[in-house]
Structure 1
Amino acid sequence: MERALELDPRNFFILQQLALAYGWQHRYADQARIYDRALTIVPADPNSRILRALVALDWQADIKPFQTTLSRLVAENPNVALDIDTLQYSVCDRACAAAIRTLANYPREGVASNGVNYPYAYWEGVVARCEGDSVKARAAFAAASREVQKIVQQQPDFAAALSLLGMIDAGLDKKEDALKEGQRACELLPTSKDAIDGASLAINLAQIYAWTGEKDRAIEQIAAVERIPNSLSYGLLKLHPYWDSLRGDPRFEKIVASLAPKER
Structure 2
Amino acid sequence: MAEAAVEAAARLRPDAGETHMARARNLYWGKQDYNAALAELELASRTLPNDPQLFELKGYIERRQGRDDDAIRNLERAIELDPRNAGILTQVAISYHNTRRYAQERSAHDRILSLTPNDPSAQLGRAFVEFEEKADVRSYQQAVESIRRTNPTAIRDIANDWLLCALAERDTKAATDALTAAGGDSFGLAYADNVRFNRPFVEGVIARMSNDEVKARAAFAAARAEQEKVIQAQPDNAEALCVLGLIDAALGRKEEALREGHRAVELLPVEKDAKHGPNMNKYLAMSAAWLGDKNLACEQLAIAVSRPNDLSYGQLKLLPTWDPLRGDRCFEQIVNSLAPR
TM-score category by the smaller chain? over 0.9
Partners of 2:175 and 2:159 lie apart in 1 by: 14
Moved more, 249-258 or 124-133: 249-258
Superposition deviation, residue 245 in structure 1: 1.3
Greater helix share, 1 or 2? 2
Partners of 2:319 and 2:167 lie apart in 1 by: 7
Task: Report if aligned partners of 1:24, 1:231 keep a CA contact under 8 Å in 2.
Answer: yes
What is the aligned counterpart of 1:101 among 177, 199, 202? 177
Task: Report if aligned partners of 1:58, 1:236 keep a CA contact under 8 Å in 2.
Answer: yes
SS at match of 2:334: helix
Q: 1:177 to 1:84 in 2, by over 3 A?
A: farther
Query: Structure 1: where are the runs of 5+ without partners?
Result: none
What is the aligned counterpart of 1:91 among 164, 167, 184? 167
1:77 aligns with 2:152: yes
SS at match of 1:118: coil
Partners of 2:159 and 2:184 lie apart in 1 by: 16
For normalisation by structure 2, the TM-score amounts to 0.72
Question: Could you tell me the percent identity over the aligned residues?
Answer: 44
1:110 aligns with 2:189: no
What is the aligned counterpart of 2:293 among 197, 214, 221? 214
Task: Report if aligned partners of 1:114, 1:160 keep a CA contact under 8 Å in 2.
Answer: no
Letter in 2 for 1:30: Q
Q: 1:82 to 1:196 in 2, by over 3 A?
A: farther
Partners of 2:306 and 2:278 lie apart in 1 by: 11
Cα deviations by residue, 1:85-132 (Å, 9 ceiling, x for unpaired)? 433443111344432332232324334786665211110000111111
Partners of 1:130 and 1:25 lie apart in 2 by: 30
Query: Structure 2: where are the runs of 5+ without partners?
Result: 1-74
Q: 1:80 to 1:100 in 2, by over 3 A?
A: closer
Task: Report if aligned partners of 1:209, 1:218 keep a CA contact under 8 Å in 2.
Answer: yes
Q: 1:149 to 1:138 in 2, by over 3 A?
A: same
Q: How does 1:1-264 map to 2 (within 5 A)?
A: 1-75=75-149, 76-82=151-157, 85-86=160-161, 87-111=163-187, 117-262=196-341
SS at match of 2:182: coil
Partners of 2:227 and 2:80 lie apart in 1 by: 44
Q: 1:141 to 1:78 in 2, by over 3 A?
A: farther
Q: 1:83 to 1:100 in 2, by over 3 A?
A: closer
Superposition deviation, residue 217 in structure 1: 0.8
- Between structure 1 and structure 2, the one with the greater Rg is 2
Cα deviations by residue, 1:182-239 (Å, 9 ceiling, x for unpaired)? 1101111111111222122221111111111110111111111111101110000111
Letter in 1 for 2:152: N
Cα deviations by residue, 1:36-91 (Å, 9 ceiling, x for unpaired)? 11100011111111111111110110111111211222331245454884334431
